Amino acid sequence: MMAEIGATIAFSAIQNNDKVGVIFFSDKVEKFIPPKKGRKHILLVIRELLDFQPTNTGTDINMVLEYMTGALKKRCTTFLVSDFIDEHDYSKALSIANHKHDVIAVQVYDKREAKLPDVGLMRVRDAERGTLKWVNTSSKRVRDAYSRWWYSQQQAVNGTLQRCNVDLASVATDEDYVTALMGLFKNRGVRS
């Protein structure tokens, strides 16, 4: 879904004759394609969006924002597409990046990440660390603790974005991202 969102944004940019670039990141900058115009360049960006495989599995939004702020000299609109599950404090880097550029956040998440189902003993894998753990989902205490963690994590993301004046479109993987993006741009147009 993140690749589809990126491709949709890229096609929209080419319709406006805007430059398009991309930074792929994990806990490091994996690949940077500098902004350019043109159909051939957009097709390169889209091909990379579809085929790219990161070498690392962590997330460091702070690092990529610092990199972007240094790499992009002219003011531009940037889309930060992530699940925003990150242990690092990226608020200062986000504030600086949004002061220099127009940063828009697009959060992609799976609703199943928000609430543990009551299915008994379940083996889960941390996608970033690769560690495996057994979780007793039949325990209401465990499910409630997880729900509290998810809610507090979402509140922290929303609070950081609001303090930094960054607009957010939050999209579940089972939702239509076009509707969420259209709503975001409609709201941004109203404020302008």
For residue 17, pLDDT beyond 80: yes
CATH architecture of the region 2-113+167-191: 3-Layer(aba) Sandwich (3.40)
Confidence of residue 46 (pLDDT cuts 50, 70, 90): very high
What integer is the mean pLDDT of 76-101? 95
Query: In 3D, which of 135, 140, 141, 142 has the Cα closest to residue 121?
Result: 135
Whole-prediction pTM value? 0.88
pLDDT for 145-191, tens place per residue?
A: 999 999 999 999 999 999 999 999 999 999 999 999 888 888 876 55
What integer is the mean pLDDT of 37-45? 91
Query: Chain-wide mean pLDDT for the chain?
Result: 91
Domain ranges within the chain, ordered by starting residue: 2-113+167-191
For residue 89, pLDDT beyond 50: yes
For residue 192, pLDDT beyond 60: no
